[in-house]
Amino acid sequence: MNTTPESSPENDGPILGPIETLSTERVIIPRIEEQLQAGKQTLETGRVKLTKTVHETQETLTIPLPREAFIVERMPLHEYVDEVPAARQEGETIIYSVVNEVLVVQKRLLLVEEIRVTKQQTQHEETQTVPLRREEITVERTSTIPTPERPA
């Protein structure tokens, strides 16, 4: 059977030639393939020169800037109070009280007695019996032969 594919909206490809049919009922369709090769190439179309110039001007600008300063004063009072005073404000001044706890003890001396110590020297006689020892040696001589006397 010889059929020729036609161009249709769904198939925008080329129209093929006649299709050959063999005796074994085999249909051979020739295939056509297109290939695309893309490349790029630098092509100079013109040149551009850029020059930068900076202009500087001096302008004076006055800007109001608020500034706060604090003045700290220490006022010694040395007064006794019954409770801690709260912080208070008088105009632009804030007053903080600083307190110390102080122990108040009152001491007085009470003379209870005096102890008097006086040194006194006295002599008295005392009788005691004390054993005393005394040693005495007696030498006796007896001689049968006269001998010169010797002092003892």
Q: What's the token pair of residue 14? A: 């080329």
pLDDT in tens, 99-140: 988 888 887 767 777 777 777 778 888 887 888 888 877 777
pLDDT category at 143 given cuts 50, 70, 90 is low
Vertex 88: Cα angle to 87 and 89 (nearest 5)? 140
Model pTM?
0.32
Length of the chain (residues): 152
